[in-house]
Structure 1
Amino acid sequence: MNQKQLYQPFELYVSDMECWNERPLVYHFFEIVQILEGSGVRTTNSNDFSYKKGSIFLFTPLDCRGFDIRTTTRFCSIRFSEVFLGQFKHAQDRERISRWLRQLEHIFSHHNRFQEVLIKRPGDCHLISSLINNMVEEYTHKQPYHEENLQHLVTLILNIIARNVSDSTAITATESEPLINRILLHIAQHISAPEKLRVGFLAAHFNLSANYVSEYFRKFTGESLRNYITNYKIRLIQQRLTFSGFTISQIADELGFADESHLSRQFKKYHGMSPFEYRKHTKTGLNCKIFK
């Protein structure tokens, strides 16, 4: 799968597309996309959702995303990394933003796999559009304090999106939700608690036969339960190593590994390098582009 990096903490542009010539890409950053004109289908993690003028999407790091253009599409793309939001001057703000982004990951990982992100609250679409227009002005003219203003505008937009998504999550994470959706949401919410991800626990929690859990999971996801959980954790480790200042030990504690060496063995098995080497490699790439 092709991948795309963001080589600066923040990027904003307005562009036109007549067709999407690239295959779906894995992007290593957050992205807010507002459709200004046109229609088509967006692809996120192998799921397709129609879009039209006014549609707003949020993609999280490591989502695989693409577009199938039906009519010429004009869009505004706002791309940023945790580094950008981590540039708040006060440590308390940085810690709050980091914790808040981790919560958003859980919410949007569910929606980007199965559901469209819908802005349902009256007036919120208009408010987001207004904030995006303000961001374009700040980014274009780069007046004093424009970076601080952009940070606050991004967090305002994410807050508005999050309250709409969390409302629908509270509704759809019920017995009416497809069982596989509820299992995947459970995994995202309890990724740091290995005891709640075991077959026996899942069988009891979702009223399935222990012998059927793995078969059911593979049937609907195309991969084994164990591989899915491992790959999900590896993705989160990649994000922490690239965009946070957490130590390897802190990441291991957060994601439920026995210790730092356990995390390192698992990570090296999948990437062929240690977490320290991976962090050094990615940070070097970012710094060369940002600060040269």
Structure 2
Amino acid sequence: MSQAKSVLHQPFEFEFRQLSIFPKRTYQHNFFLLIYIVEGTGIQYLNNHRFNYRKGNLFLITPQDTYSFDIANSSQFFFLSFNSSYIKERRETDWGQQMDFILHNASHRPGCILKNRIDKPLIASLVESIMQEDNNRQLYHSKITEQIVNTIILVVARNIALKLPKNIKETTGEPVLDILHYIQENIFSPENLKIDVIGAHLGISQTYLGKYFKKQTGETLKQYIINYKLRMVETRLLHSDMRINEIVYELNFTDESHLNRLFRKYKGLNPSEFRKIQLLNTSKS
């Protein structure tokens, strides 16, 4: 099976396609891609995994992921692509910070990313609204479409937040999501990630905060923050040309040896070895 690579020429692009046969090739992009199943059934392949798709599924394809589809019943796909410039333009805003959350935490496993039950009809409505705006093209349709796209990506961020810690369920309430969001917003400021500071900011006692977070997520706050930072390190190793010392400085590690020890403890090898192996695997695929 051949592999097709493509680039994105606009900050974001979207397309609706009705297909009975998906082109027999494996795709790989240098941008993020959301694929929503408007109708139809079949199989999605992502990085050598497979998932039976159906109407209402939403998939997130991250840069360097490889994917393809086998269509069982004629399917309508909604493709929404967005690139790094779309992210950078919004990075200083609350919306942009949510986008960073996607970048650093996106799962590379197959399957629908909609884990929050109430978001499923919301996404269906938003996709339908984009279709209507594109068909009617009335005044301000471009600006309205951009706002809908922003909303879709925010919903994606919420669902990624819901699924990252291993024990969070669809019914998880707002407090733990507020904690996750606070950590994500302050990940570059270690002084703000002390448990007493987090508790004071959110109005939760230090003792209760630690027990509550562990019960809701299956991880201690310290474990979650370490894992979160290591995911950010992985993203930079895989999708940027940043040197190790630049990553150390940006993410406030003490020095390179500190990062090397921590990365090896959790990943089994140091950052340079990780990058070399991943690049080698990519060149072979």
TM-score tier after normalising by the smaller chain length: 0.5 to 0.7
Q: 2:83 corresponds to which residue?
A: 81
- Show structure 2 runs of 5+ residues with no match: 169-213, 215-222, 257-270, 280-285
- 1:138 Cα offset (Å): 2.9
Q: 2:120 corresponds to which residue?
A: 125
Whether the 8 Å contact between 1:12 and 1:78 is mirrored in structure 2 is: yes
1:143, 1:253 → 2: CA distance?
Answer: 48
Whether the 8 Å contact between 1:26 and 1:62 is mirrored in structure 2 is: yes
Whether the 8 Å contact between 1:237 and 1:251 is mirrored in structure 2 is: no
Whether the 8 Å contact between 1:41 and 1:51 is mirrored in structure 2 is: yes
1:249, 1:171 → 2: CA distance?
Answer: 31
The correspondence for 1:18, drawn from 20, 31, 35, is 20
- 1:252 Cα offset (Å): 7.0
Q: 2:98 corresponds to which residue?
A: 100
- 1:172 Cα offset (Å): 4.2
Whether the 8 Å contact between 1:84 and 1:151 is mirrored in structure 2 is: no
% same residue = 24
1:77, 1:254 → 2: CA distance?
Answer: 33
Q: 2:69 corresponds to which residue?
A: 67
1:237, 1:149 → 2: CA distance?
Answer: 32
Q: Deviations over 1:255-279 (max 9, x none)?
A: 6796xxxx9xx999x99xxxxxxxx
Q: Does 1:39 align with 2:34?
A: no
How has the CA–CA distance of structure 1 residues 18 and 189 changed in structure 2, closer, same or farther, with 3 Å as cutoff? farther
How has the CA–CA distance of structure 1 residues 134 and 85 changed in structure 2, closer, same or farther, with 3 Å as cutoff? farther
1:155, 1:125 → 2: CA distance?
Answer: 16
For the residue of structure 2 that corresponds to 1:31, the secondary structure is strand
How has the CA–CA distance of structure 1 residues 33 and 74 changed in structure 2, closer, same or farther, with 3 Å as cutoff? same
- 1:161 Cα offset (Å): 2.6
How has the CA–CA distance of structure 1 residues 47 and 159 changed in structure 2, closer, same or farther, with 3 Å as cutoff? same
1:169, 1:75 → 2: CA distance?
Answer: 26
Whether the 8 Å contact between 1:192 and 1:254 is mirrored in structure 2 is: no
Q: Does 1:148 align with 2:150?
A: no
TM-score (norm 1): 0.57
2:56, 2:148 → 1: CA distance?
Answer: 18
1:24, 1:68 → 2: CA distance?
Answer: 11
Q: Deviations over 1:191-211 (max 9, x none)?
A: 566xxxxxxxxxxxxxxxxxx
For the residue of structure 2 that corresponds to 1:171, the secondary structure is coil
Let me know the Cα RMSD of the aligned residues: 4.2
Whether the 8 Å contact between 1:37 and 1:52 is mirrored in structure 2 is: yes
How has the CA–CA distance of structure 1 residues 39 and 267 changed in structure 2, closer, same or farther, with 3 Å as cutoff? closer
Q: Which moved more, 1:130-139 or 1:46-55?
A: 130-139
The correspondence for 2:230, drawn from 176, 190, 197, is 190
Letter in 2 for 1:122: R
Q: 1:165 corresponds to which residue?
A: 160
Whether the 8 Å contact between 1:33 and 1:77 is mirrored in structure 2 is: yes
2:248, 2:85 → 1: CA distance?
Answer: 21
Letter in 1 for 2:238: R
For the residue of structure 2 that corresponds to 1:129, the secondary structure is helix
TM-score (norm 2): 0.58
Map 1:234-249 to 2 at 5 A.
234-237=237-240
- Show structure 1 runs of 5+ residues with no match: 175-182, 194-228, 241-247, 272-292
For the residue of structure 2 that corresponds to 1:53, the secondary structure is coil
2:35, 2:27 → 1: CA distance?
Answer: 15
2:41, 2:88 → 1: CA distance?
Answer: 35
- 1:188 Cα offset (Å): 6.2
How has the CA–CA distance of structure 1 residues 2 and 147 changed in structure 2, closer, same or farther, with 3 Å as cutoff? same
Q: Number of aligned pairs? A: 211
2:157, 2:275 → 1: CA distance?
Answer: 31
1:16, 1:87 → 2: CA distance?
Answer: 32
